[in-house]
Amino acid sequence: MDIVAVIPTYNEAGNIEQVVSEILALHLNIEVLVVDDFSPDGTFGKIEEMAKAEPRVHLLLRKENRGRGWAGIDGFKQALAMGAKYIVEMDGDGSHSPRYIPVLFENAAGNGLVIGSRYVSGGKDEARNFARKVISGFARRYLAFALGVKITDPTSGFRLFERNALEKIVPRLTARDPFIVTEVLYYAKKSSVKIIEVPIEFLSRISGESKLRPSTLLKYLVRVWLLKLNSSF
């Protein structure tokens, strides 16, 4: 297949079926890999049922060493093992609309990493209140400076990787939590992966509450310097 969409999930039973169905409806040679951390709400059961009827749907169920970062790492490894030429990483709550996957793919030629950005011209963010927008604005400028990357949305988790680029990054990833989003950018930069951004609209999640708190984001501003100091790259 050309593309595997990797979707790490935890308690997204109310959202995941719609997200997966919209991906499958795209006019692309694409398959879906849901990486679920044994969600108490039965998210994995929804995917198991979908997979029975649709061979392009796959489930990687993780019962140990759970965490958003480790789920992402396992998902990347599985997508590469499946033979994907391109790997999309996205959330399963509906905030990352599948309609932008073709846009990411169309911009992949000659680029190792294509980021769906809320802040380049044409991008939008409907899901943030004023306080979160202030914190997010500060954090993204700070992270871009600390990482030395000239991008507007370093906190975006909606991204498409070219296979060879991801193969350079994955062996170095260690973050257990959502800090993996920052870690990926750091190692992409260090590996001389060409990074571009394309505009997307970040939507409100379909149902449920966000698991990422502003306080967590602020903690990552310290961790980025620890990453740089401790990295042997």
Are 180 and 173 spatial neighbours (Cβ–Cβ below 8 Å)?
yes
Are 18 and 46 spatial neighbours (Cβ–Cβ below 8 Å)?
no
Give 218 or 122, the one with higher predicted confidence.
122
What is the CB neighbour count within 10 angstroms for residue 189? Answer: 17
Q: What is the CATH number of the domain that holds 171?
A: 3.90.550.10
Domain count, the chain: 1
Handedness of CA 142, 173, 163, 30 (dihedral sign): negative
Are 153 and 140 spatial neighbours (Cβ–Cβ below 8 Å)?
yes
Are 102 and 198 spatial neighbours (Cβ–Cβ below 8 Å)?
no
pLDDT value for 215: 63
Using left for φ > 0, alpha for ψ between -120 and 50, and beta otherwise, residue 4 falls in beta
Give 212 or 122, the one with higher predicted confidence.
122
In sequence order, the 6+-apart residues with CB closer than 8 A to the CB of 76 are: 6, 87, 89, 161, 166, 170, 173
Give 100 or 215, the one with higher predicted confidence.
100
pLDDT tens, residue by residue, 74-95: 999 999 999 999 999 999 999 9
pLDDT tens, residue by residue, 44-54: 999 999 999 99
- Give the pLDDT mean for 155-173: 97
- pLDDT category, 213, cuts 50, 70, 90? low
Domain of residue 194: give its range.
3-230
- Give the pLDDT mean for 132-159: 87
Give me the percent of the chain exceeding a pLDDT of 70. Answer: 90
pTM of the model: 0.92
User: 93: which 2 tokens?
Assistant: 């709550």
The rounded distance, in Å, linking the Cα atoms of 157 and 149 is 16
User: 8: which 2 tokens?
Assistant: 């790490």
Are 197 and 97 spatial neighbours (Cβ–Cβ below 8 Å)?
no
